[in-house]
Copies of this chain bind each other. A is one copy, B any other.
Amino acid sequence: MNMVLLIAHGSRREQSNIEVREVAKRLEEDAAGSFDGVIPAFLELAEPSIQSGVALCSEAGAHEVTVVPYFLSAGRHVVEDIPRELGKAAKLHPHLQIHMRRHIGGHVEMTRLLYHSALGPSAGDK
């Protein structure tokens, strides 16, 4: 069983955290053929934490956890903080294979998304 852990920064503004949870929900639907579920987790300021998120994957029966950092740049959070938290989680859950993917700002498809966004409707349009 392979779960995705979608890790976002977390915000004091709850609406931003809700937006991440909604993205995770849509991803779960779209990725149902390849992954058994998607759990959102937050580096700080929101719940579940990365540790709790990995524990939730384990409780759900995961053997593999695919970590997608929902970050636009490879800053300290991506380079140091998330790997450190995943290292701690790996010690607590030695049966889990944890794979960390690149931050999404580094994904080759980001340029296409930005292009389509530039072509698309304005912020105020429905």
A-B pairs with lowest CB-CB distance, top 5: A16-B73, A100-B123, A26-B111, A31-B115, A109-B113
Interface residues of A (CB under 8 A from B): 4, 6, 8, 11, 13, 15-16, 19-20, 23, 26-27, 30-31, 34-35, 66, 68-76, 99-107, 109-124
Decide if B107 touches A23 in the complex (CB within 8 Å): no
A-B contact pairs, 30 of them (CB 8 A): A4-B118, A6-B114, A11-B75, A13-B76, A15-B73, A15-B75, A19-B72, A20-B73, A27-B114, A27-B118, A30-B111, A30-B112, A31-B118, A35-B118, A68-B114, A68-B118, A70-B72, A70-B114, A71-B72, A101-B123, A102-B117, A102-B120, A103-B123, A107-B116, A107-B120, A109-B109, A109-B113, A109-B116, A110-B113, A113-B113
Copies of this subunit:
2
User: In the complex, what residues of B have CB within 8 A of residue A110's CB?
Assistant: 23, 113
**Chain A interface mostly helix, strand, loop or mixed?**
mixed
Decide if B105 touches A120 in the complex (CB within 8 Å): no
Give the distance in Å from the alpha carbon of A116 to the alpha carbon of B110 in the complex.
11
A82 to chain B, nearest CB (A): 9
Decide if A122 touches B100 in the complex (CB within 8 Å): yes
